[in-house]
Structure 1
Amino acid sequence: MPPEIFELSNLVSLDLSFNPLKFQNPGLKSVVENLSSLKHFYLSRVNLSSPVPHILATLSSLKSLDLSSCGLYGEFPVEIFKLRNLQFLSLQNNEFLAGYLPEFQSSSPFQILRFAQTGFSGKLPDSIGNLKSLLELGIESCYFSVSSFCLSKNKFSGQIPFSLANLTQLAYLGLSENTFSPHKLSWLDKQTKLIVLDSSENLTQLTHFLVDNNQLTGRIPPWLGNLTQLTKIDLSDNKFHGSIPQSICRLPNLESVSLRGKNLGGKVGLDLFLKLKNLTELQLSGFHLSFPINSTFNTSTPKLKLLTLNACNLTEFPIFLHSQHELKIVSLTNNEIHGQIPKWIFDMGKQTLLLLDLSFNFLTTFGPFDHTPLVLPWGSLLNLNLASNKLQGSLPIPPTSIAQYKVGNNKLTGEISPLFCNLSSIIRLDLSHNNLGGVLPQCLSKLSDLEVLNLQNNNFHGILSNMEQNRLRAIDVSFNQLEGQVPRSLSNCTMLEILLLGNNRFYDIFPSWLGKLPRLRVLSLQSNGFHGAIGKPESSLNFPNLQIIDVSFNNFIGRLPYEHFQSWTSMKVANLTFDKNNAYMVAVTSNPSPYFNYFENRVSYSLEMTNKGIKTLYEKIQDHLIAVDLSSNKFEREIPEVIGNLKGLHLLNISNNILIGPILSSLGNLTELESLDLSQNGLSREILQQLLQITFLAFFNASNNHLTGPIPQGKQFSTFENDSYLGNMGLCGTPLTMKCKISETMTQPPLDSKQGEGSNFPSKSDWVVIMMEYGSGLIIGFVIGNSLTIRKLGRFLKDFGRKQ
């Protein structure tokens, strides 16, 4: 090699791979010293026969380094791993090169690491999980020790590899939260070296067995009861069926058990689990718990920290909870617990409890208690869920530590206590669907951590106080008696995604200033006293992410807000790609605890709006839904042409206004429409053939207008009944009884609208008979083709008439 090459100090890429070269003069160290700007350095199969020089760690721009099959020996400099730009490192096939892996930082950009057939050894560091960009890790035929192997929370699919049986030193195997294919686990019992601490022929050293959130099938294998060293077992959220083998309940070292699944069932003796003296976590769901509900348990009863008994047919609170003073998580949701919440429940985890979920039961009261309102005593409580019971009386006051407080769907009465002003850490407050009333405390605006506020369907009155929190994501105060103006301070809530003000007594003009909110997706003002014309938006970027707007049943006047139509950019794209992990709109709130897996931080939104002519409650709003409801106002004049730009619309309702003019052909551009309501207006002329292009249309209502001419035939229009057209005396054709005259139409569905563009010669899509009478003569024009040709013939006939 000409040595001058190694003097090119600005060289950024050097590839000498697969050449029979030997570095002697200059040596590798001298080369690196001269080429300090290198980004890519490839020397695969070049005979270096030397240690790796430490000076390589000074190449701060280095992105790729390939030293495979180079005859390297000695200790690999660990400083090279710290190069902040290094993405590709290959050292494979250097059997005398020793080294170990350091602790990796989360900022490390490594994508490919190859150490196969080297002398690298030691423990694979847990921090290898920080390499978020890693695509390939090659460590075969090295001397690494692997005691923990975790594939959890990835996107692995297919069969769990049988080759895991070769990991003879493995003590921990994590496979949870993947999409492994349905299969049985019987092979695990036959793999004599899988997850063991020695070379014995069984799994007796297995301590953790975690395969939750997969698709494993069959019955829970009874041989798991032979794994006497198990301390943690999690089979939840698979496709197992049947009951729990009693052998599992006899495992002496169990500390954590999680058995949840839709197809699991049968009777389970809870007392069997309570004999496990080391048990601290127990999660069961879907079983019929059978145990003496009022049994007393002795001092050997395990001290639980986590207990979830969901959908287990409980009818009373398990009495053993009375002696559980170390509990942090308790969930008894979806049971049949009736009546009064016992007073002793407050002794349960009094200093430790973080989460209590008693939702979806038949609880009626807290009590009897001496104080009203009731102040709950758990000093560390972060999450309290009492929703969907039959609770009566005043609103219980949670401790100041609370982050999520949910009591929706009960029968609570009275007002919100001023003590709620002390909830400085609250993230989610849900008091919806109760009988609460009074004026909303002004201090609600001072809860600076508040992200979700749901007061829907109560009897609150007065004004909505200023809401200035910049962390608010959702506000629902619909179905109350609130009045006055919408507080202008909402424009400061820049994280707001959902604002539901419907069914109140607000009296205001259209709040176009809300268009500044960059994340607002849903705005409902329906059934209030909003009035006046909807003027121009404050900028062309107003409401950039708006998907749903409902201003129905108000007193808006003037033209439809065509200038706003031009700025609603999220509605203009058909088949808009949303987050495929979310089928429904959700607000992802903050996690208030390291026990985040047990805290609901994804809040679904609900909304009531008209769909297909029926008031519909969306308990969850589909993430892709795009809807505009401007019905039942006093909008006038023609439908603006620009409405055809909202190509992503699924629902459009402009019924019950005083609109006039034709149904525009641009509506045919709304090919995603499923519901179109034009009824109760003064629309005239014909229903255009272009509407046949809306192939997803399931609901169409043009009744009570002044429409004339033939009803389009074919495609979705063949599914609509008489009700879609009633009150239009000039309409004819199926499904109406009035037949069309031959002079009005002889139509077939049109071909693609692009057909015939650029040509004046007619296509064979439609036959239209135009009859014009001038004086005593009758002129009949047969036109085949598009509307442009028809218009040209019309002008010709008019000119001809004038000449006559």
Structure 2
Amino acid sequence: MELLLYLFGLVGFLFIQSLHDIIVVADTFSSTQSLCNEVERSALLWFKESIVVNNCASHDPYSFPKVASWNLDGVSGGDCCSWDGIECDKDSGHVIGLDLSSSCLYGSINTNSSLFSLVHLQNLNMAFNDFNNSNIPVGLANLSMLKHLNLSNSSFSGQIPSQISGLSNLVSLDLSFNIDSSYQRLLKLTSPNFSSLLPNLTRIEKLHLSYVDMSSTVPSVLNNLSSLTSLHLDDCGLLGEFPPGIFQLPNLKFLSVQGNEYLTGHLPNFERNSTLEAINLGETSYSGELPTSIGNLNSLNELEIWSCNFSGLLPFSLGNISHLKVLDLTNNSFRGQVPSSLENLSQLTYLSLCQNNFSGSNFPRLGELNKLKYLIICNFNLNSQIPYLANLTQLDFLRLSSNQLTGQIPSWLMNLTQLIHLDLSFNKLHGPIPSSVIQLKNLEFLHLFQNHLSGTVELDTFAKLKNLTKLHLSLNHITFLSKTSPNTTVQKFKHIGLASCNLSEFPDFLREQDELEFVDLAYNHIHGLVPKWMWNTSKENLGFVNFSHNFLTGFDQMHDVFPWPRLGILDLKSNLLQGPLPIPPASTLIYLVSNNMLSGKVSSLICSLNSLYALDLSHNHLSGTLPPCLGNFSSFLSILNLRSNNFQGMIPQLEFLILGNNRLHDVFPYWLGKLPELKVLILRSNRFHGDMGSPASNFEFQKLRILDLSYNNFRGKLPLGFFKNLIAMKNVPEEHLTYVQAIATIYLLGFALNENYDYSMTITNKGVKTVYAKILDFFTAVDLSCNKFDGEIPEVIGNLKVLHLLNLSNNFLTDRIPSSLGDLHQLESLDLSQNNLSGEIPQQLTELIFLEFFNVSYNNLTGPIPQGKQFNTFQMSSFEGNFGLCGDQITRNCGDSKSLAPPSIFEDDHGSESPFDFNWKAILLGYGCGLIIGGIIGHIMTTRKHDWFMKNFGNRRRQREISAKRRGSRN
């Protein structure tokens, strides 16, 4: 028995040993036998030879040229399956995966490339390369087994080929972020369109097409893609309503459609079994309230609905989303209290509640959300000290701007030692900047702009914060001392904001700064010349320079063109600069040099500024003809303000212009009507002449809201066709308590800078010229005064329902005042003085309940002055010079027929205008020519509320609301 057991054991051992030997031999064989298919290896080598490798083509710091390992020598011994980026099937040896992302590839891929002979490919990733704006090759259609295709971030351009839709096995498709350096879309999906791409992609799980230009609605077929887990359609030009059923897809986890400003929709009701983990609707036109059922999204980690049109109260159930890490509600119309349930979101790392209509009282206690890294609370009317946040020790980013915060900067703030970014701007903080700020060792950005901080601040304090690169102390009550101790080494700053810091000279420490991108020294007391050394300060980096509102007279060393090659914004306005116009570099986007003493002709070197967004040369002594090249400036040019100079000649073919107060000699430029966004046109005080005629089409000047052609030599009939086109003056908009501004988001040196350009006007209000530094966005006006228009006032003016000001004074208008003017229910100022109008004042004008200024003086009007309502408030001066009028306002009894007869001196036997009447016009020309508007053209957007509104227009707004309620409808 023992012998038998021994024999069995010996046999088992020998079997195991033999098996081991077989495995060793097999391993040895496999190490020398390549899996790589020779035909496919050749195809890969051919592809390597056809493509260019450029180390600048991939911006990933970990990128490297993977094709460098593709050769027949070296460690791989020609086995393509072991080359970088190659994956082979272990059974067949076919290449099934090719990952060349971040591989420094440059150029284009030919449609006949050997790449497309790899017909077994299932995974192709060419992301993060630079294919130099070439088209996506149609040869991709040969790769019918593809499951994963990624061509993102690689500068492909043109129409996405229809052959992509034939890749029916695709599980993931990523063509996103093919954009140029200015973030413009390169790829299109228009012909074929988005709808035609989808029908065959029934297996798709991941569809990423961000920054593909679609300009279409979202196809409802997306509702049928039940396998979809991730949908990214950011900034695609989508419009119309987003299909709500997409939110209900059974497997959808990630949904992002941000940046589609014309995309509308409402959030649906959510079930508890929703799989959604991230929703991003930022910068869309989504509206409505957040549904209470949003609290059912138990898996949601991110909710980003910034810059939408959401409104109403925040639901208390928002605090039930226990896994929520990112909550961004910035720039909506939410109102009421922020629910206290937000205190329960213990996993939050990012919270932003900026720019809504929340009320500030009973603000949630956020001090226990100790995982927060980013906290942004702004535009609350808190009127309190800074909320206690000492426990948020993980905070990297803290922004508490525009909250009406009071008191001093608290000492506990220095316990937040992880802070990198601290923004307390636009508040009412007072007292000194605490010296203990040096405890914030990691601080890189300190923004204390526009508070009531006071005292003396030394550069030495900030020099101890070695990581601090962006320092903004502007618009406080501090005195900044830039001198440092002998042994102090000042760090290299990127931003320096020292506006209104009692500086009397250029801070000497700027000499040694060579990394500055932003420098603001406005509103100081700096006299004399800009020092020569400033030209070498951060010469290669400066993008923003503001020396405005000082007493600078010139430059210690003058250059034909400023030697700051990356300059984007240059503001030199409101100084004492003399001599010729300084010319900034070609990179300049905004150049403001108004309110100086510059003289002479504008150099032709200005023609190099072909990227301008705004150019303001107003209020100088510049002369000569306008350079013809101004008409060739880029399509981005939105503001051109040349008023109050001595320019002469004709207008170049400009797209946007403000040319008031010059000596321009031209006919009316009807070609301006082709500008789709033109909202204000100011050509006052020039030498324009001739008959205005009519627009060429019915689609011109439709957005015009303010028209000022006063003080010119226009003649002939008032332009009937022109008034018919003024659609924006016919429709009653929703009034916003906001100001007219041009706002540019300038992407400059790696950061986005919002640059606002305020508009101003001088208007005759109640007979007195009043300067308004800002203009409410719903204001509308027509001023054609001080010209030579004749004939009757067109009835169609009565269709301009939202007109606030109408000034037709100082012309030669005849016939009756049209009764249709009584339909201008928003009218606040009406000036028809100094004309030849006849007949009676229409009784319908008494319905203009907001009319505060009315002037029909020096016409040939007759009959009784209407009585009641606003007309009882008008003085005698509104009606004088009309000897046929009677009524209480002029103490002329309407029952006395003799008193109604006009003096014969005003009319000769033939009924013609008398010399006396003409002399009155000559003497009084300009009286009542009251609308002077400057600086308004281009993309006009709105900004935040201001106390100025309540002072000037608030009572009238309330009166309108009361009247609307009484009428049962909104004005």
Specify if TM > 0.5.
yes
Amino acid at match of 2:739: A
Deviation string, structure 1 residues 4-48 (Cα, Å, up to 9, x no partner)? xxxxxxxxxxxxxxxxxxxxxxxxxxxxxxxxxxxxxxxxxxxxx
Which one-letter code corresponds to 1:455 in the other structure?
L
Given the superposition, is the C-alpha separation of residues 100 and 272 from structure 1 closer, same or farther in structure 2, using an over 3 Å criterion?
Answer: farther
Alpha-carbon displacement from aligned partner over 1:254-284 (angstroms, at most 9, x marks no partner): 1211122344445444432232111111122
Structure 2 counterpart of 1:624: 778
> Is 1:545 paired with 2:727?
no
Structure-to-structure mapping, 1:203-214, within 5 angstroms: 203-214=392-403
Alignment of 1:134-145 (within 5 A): 137-138=294-295
Displacement of 1:649 after TM fit?
2.0
User: Is 1:235 aligned to residue 424 of structure 2?
Assistant: yes
Amino acid at match of 1:717: F
* Rounded Cα–Cα distance in structure 2 between residues aligned with 1:176 and 1:519: 29
Give the Cα separation in 2 of the matches to 1:592 and 1:581: 28
Segment of structure 1 superposing worse, 139-148 or 217-226 = 139-148
Q: Aligned partners of 1:523 and 1:286: how far apart in 2?
A: 34
| Per-residue CA distance 1:554-613 (angstroms, 9 max, x = gap) | 44444333343333333333x3346x38521x344462426564341x434445565655
| 1:338 equivalent in alignment to 2:527 | yes
User: Displacement, 1:355?
Assistant: 0.7
1:305 CA drift (Å)? 1.2
1:537–1:320: structure 2 CA closer, same or farther, 3 Å change rule? closer
* Partner SS, residue 483 of structure 2: coil
Q: Aligned-pair distance for 1:223?
A: 1.3
Change (3 A) 1:83 1:398: closer
Alpha carbons of 1:595 and 1:283: their partners in 2 closer, same or farther (altered >3 Å)? farther
Q: Tell me the TM-score normalised to structure 2 length.
A: 0.58
User: 8 Å contact 1:307–1:329 — kept in the other structure?
Assistant: yes
Q: Aligned to 1:321, what secondary structure does the other structure show?
A: helix
Write out aligned runs for 1:500-515 (5 A): 508=667, 510-515=668-673
**Larger mean Cα displacement after TM superposition, 322-331 or 445-454:** 445-454
Instruction: Give the secondary-structure state (helix, strand or coil) at the position aligned to 1:377.
Output: coil
Aligned to 1:202: 391
Quote how far apart the aligned CAs of 1:323 are: 1.8
Secondary structure of the residue aligned to 1:692 is: helix
CA deviation digits over 1:487-507, x for unaligned, max 9?
xxxxxxxxxxxxxxxxxxxxx
* Percent of pairs with identical residues: 45
Residue pairs, 1:225-374, within 5 angstroms = 225-295=414-484, 298=487, 300-367=489-556, 369=557, 372-374=558-560
Name the CA shift for 1:587/1:655 in 2 (closer, same or farther; >3 Å): same
Q: Distance in 1 between matches of 2:649 and 2:535?
A: 36
2:360 to 177, 182, 185: 182
With 683-692 and 105-114 compared, the bigger mean Cα shift is at 105-114
Pairing 1:670–2:824 present: yes
Provide the residue aligned with 2:876 in structure 1: 722
Q: Specify whether residues 594 and 380 from structure 1 end up closer, same or farther in structure 2 by C-alpha distance, changes over 3 A only.
A: closer
Amino acid at match of 1:352: N
Task: Name the residue aligned to 2:651.
Answer: 464
Structure 1 CA distance, aligned partners of 2:610 and 2:860?
Answer: 59
**Residues 717-756 of structure 1 correspond to what in structure 2 (within 5 A)?**
717-741=871-895
- Preserved CA contact (<8 Å) 1:179 1:215: no
Q: Which moved more, 1:455-464 or 1:345-354?
A: 455-464
Matched residue type, 2:502: N
Mapped pair 1:576 → 2:730: no
Q: 2:463 is aligned with what amino acid?
A: L
Q: Indicate which of 448, 464, 473 corresponds to 2:634.
A: 448
Aligned to 2:54: none
1:519 to 669, 677, 680: 677
- Change in Cα spacing, 1:689 to 1:482, as seen in structure 2 (3 Å) is closer
Matches within 5 A, 1:47-86: 79-82=228-231
Contact 1:173 1:208 in 2 (8 A): no
Supply the AA of the counterpart residue of 2:571.
N
Counterpart contact for 2:339–2:364, Cα < 8 Å: no
Instruction: Give the structure 2 partner of residue 535 of structure 1.
Output: 693
Q: What are the within-5 Å matches in structure 2 for residues 141-180 of structure 1? A: 150-159=328-337, 162-180=340-358
Whether the 8 Å CA contact 2:659–2:684 is kept in 1: the answer is no
Output the CA distance in 2 between the equivalents of 1:63 and 1:320. Answer: 59
Return the letter of the residue paired with 2:522.
Answer: T
- State the Cα deviation string for residues 751-780 of structure 1 (Å, max 9, x = none): xxxxxxxxxxxxxxxxxxxxxxxxxxxxxx
Q: Which amino acid aligns with 2:505?
A: E
Q: Tell me how far apart the structure 2 counterparts of residues 402 and 560 of structure 1 sit (CA, whole Å).
A: 41
Residue 384 (structure 1) shift: 0.9
- In 2, the alpha carbon distance for the partners of 1:675 and 1:130 equals 38
Question: Using the alignment, how far apart are the partners of 2:787 and 2:330 within structure 1?
Answer: 54
Letter in 2 for 1:548: I
Range that drifts further, 398-407 or 299-308: 299-308
The one-letter code sitting in structure 2 at the alignment partner of 1:247 is S
Q: Tell me the CA shift for residue 693 of structure 1.
A: 0.8
Q: Distance in 2 between matches of 1:596 and 1:250?
A: 27
Deviations 1:702-726 (A, max 9, x none): 2222333332222212221121121
**Structure 2 equivalent of residue 660 of structure 1:** 814
Aligned AA (1:593): L
Looking at secondary structure, tell me which structure has more helix per residue. 2
Counterpart in the other structure of 1:694: 848
SS in 1 for 2:854: strand
Cα pair 1:340 1:365 within 8 Å, conserved: yes
What amino acid sits opposite 1:561 in the alignment? P
Does residue 482 (structure 1) correspond to residue 659 (structure 2)? The answer is: no
State the secondary structure of the residue aligned to 1:735: helix
| 8 Å Cα contact 2:228/2:249 also seen in 1 | no
In the alignment, is the contact (CA less than 8 A) between 1:182 and 1:217 conserved in 2?
no
Contact 1:181 1:216 in 2 (8 A): no
Q: Tell me the distance in 1 between the aligned counterparts of 2:798 and 2:523.
A: 47
Query: Offset at 1:617?
Result: 5.2
Gap change, CA 1:539 and 1:333, over 3 Å in 2? same
The alpha carbon displacement at 1:642 in A equals: 3.0
Contact 1:553 1:631 in 2 (8 A): yes
Equivalent position of 1:434 in the other structure: 620
The structural deviation recorded for 1:353 is: 1.2
3-state SS in 2 of match to 1:260:
coil
The aligned length equals 634
Label 1:424 to 1:702 Cα distance change in 2 as closer, same or farther (>3 A).
closer
What code does the residue aligned with 1:396 have? P
| Structure 2 partner of 1:633 | 787
Cα 1:262–1:380 change in 2 (3 A) is same
Q: Which stretch shifts more, 200-209 or 311-320? A: 200-209
Which is worse superposed, 372-381 or 106-115?
106-115
Answer yes or no: is the 8 Å Cα contact 1:285–1:309 preserved in 2: yes
Equivalent pair of 1:204/1:228 in contact (CA under 8 Å) = yes
CA contact 2:468–2:491 (8 Å) conserved in 1: yes
Alpha-carbon distance, 1:741 to partner? 2.5
- SS of residue matched to 1:691: helix
Tell me if structure 1 keeps the 8 A contact 2:594–2:620.
Answer: yes
Alignment partner of 1:376 is 2:562:
yes
Alpha-carbon distance, 1:139 to partner: 6.7
